[in-house]
Every structure is written in C-alpha cells, then in structure tokens.
Amino acid sequence: MPIKRTLTAIAAATALTVAAGAAFAENPMVGGAAMYDDKNIIENAVNSADHTTLVAAVKAAGLVDTLQGDGPFTVFAPTNAAFDALPEGTVESLLQPENKDQLTKILTCHVLGAEAMSDAISQMVMDDGGMHPVTTVGGCEFTVMTEGDAIMIKDGQGRVATVTIADVDQSNGVIHVIDTVLLPAS
C-alpha cells in the first residue's frame, strides 16, 4: 500500500509540474524574465533584461500610463541591442528632456492601437499579396511582410526589423520583440 500511495503522489506531482509547465509555456520568456498574460505591457517589460533601454525611453517620454492603460495595444519592442545599433549618441540625445517630442514620436511608431497576434499579421500579409501596410499610433506608415515564418517590418527609412519573439500576451495587448529600432520617415 505505501508504494501505491507513493506512486500516486509522484504521478500527481508530475501531472502538476507538467500542467504548470504547459501554462508557463503559453507565454515565452523575454530577457530572462517570465512574461505574464495577466500583467500589462509595462508590468512585464520592466522585468526584461533585454529591454532596459526601451523602458527608460518610455519613462522619459511619459508613456508609462498610456502603456499601462486598457489598450489593446501591439508593441514592437526593440531590444537593448537594437538601440545600441543606432548611431553613437542617438539614445542619449533622445533621452534629453528637450527631445521628448522626437522620442515620443519614435516610441509611438512602435505601437499599434489593436492587438495583433502573429498569426493574424501573417494572414494579413498573405491576403495582401506579401506586404501589408500599417499605420502606428504615432502616425508612421510601415510595411509588414513575412519571409518563411519570420515577420518583418520595414520602417519609414527603409530599415527592416525582424520579430525575434512573437506573441508575448499581455493583459492589455501583445508584445513582439524586434531586433531593430523602427524610425519614421525623415
């Protein structure tokens, strides 16, 4: 009898572990941190080690309250490495109070005023023959396209960002991690 109870307990613990792992697997890890679908974009982003520059920029632009709002939003979230790839001094300059309007414009060009999961984005691209135009909250007009399973966004300057982590579900939308900072047309 004790062996049977022990095996039953092990089976129950294994089932709980698998169920917990499956629930966790629904949302990918970003920047070494778990992302929770019951937290908003800001509550999750502040935990990502790969998005400290983005979080600092959002704070400097005064967009924290907006991105904690009801949404829904789709945020194309550039990594620290994406910001580091900008010309030297760009980030530091954008974070200065006198450049708040320019920073706000760039950041809101990374936001759509709707929740768009990757399967919906891919379908829109396919329905439009390989390229789908999007207008961001910041008024930027970008082009979304796919290559295989990869989703890419061409910005106003012809630069192309690739979604490296898709479908990070949030309570007020979705985050797609990208490898390039999107810029408005000059």
Q: What is the pLDDT of residues 44-80, one digit of tens each?
A: 999 999 999 999 999 999 999 999 999 999 999 999 9
Within a domain: residue 54? Answer: yes
Full strand arrangement of the beta sheet holding 73-78: 111-112, 73-78, 173-178, 160-170, 150-154, 141-147, 131-135
Both structure tokens of 36: 């929770």
186 vs 184: CA distance, rounded Å = 6
Confidence band, pLDDT 50/70/90 cuts, at residue 154 = very high
Q: What is the extent of the structural domain holding 146? A: 28-178
Count of domains forming the chain? 1
Beta strand 131-135 with 173-178 is unpaired
Within a domain: residue 15? Answer: no
Could you list the beta-strand ranges (E) of 148-186. 150-154, 160-170, 173-178
Sequence length of the chain is: 186
Confidence band, pLDDT 50/70/90 cuts, at residue 186 = confident
Contact criterion met (CB below 8 Å) for 1 and 141: no
Q: What is the CA radius of gyration of the chain?
A: 19
Within a domain: residue 114? Answer: yes
The tens digit of pLDDT for each residue in 102-124 reads 999 999 999 999 999 999 999 99
Within a domain: residue 67? Answer: yes
Within a domain: residue 10? Answer: no
Q: Report the CATH number that the domain containing residue 127 is assigned in CATH.
A: 2.30.180.10
Whether the per-residue pLDDT at 141 is higher than 70: the answer is yes
Within a domain: residue 1? Answer: no
Within a domain: residue 9? Answer: no
Within a domain: residue 45? Answer: yes
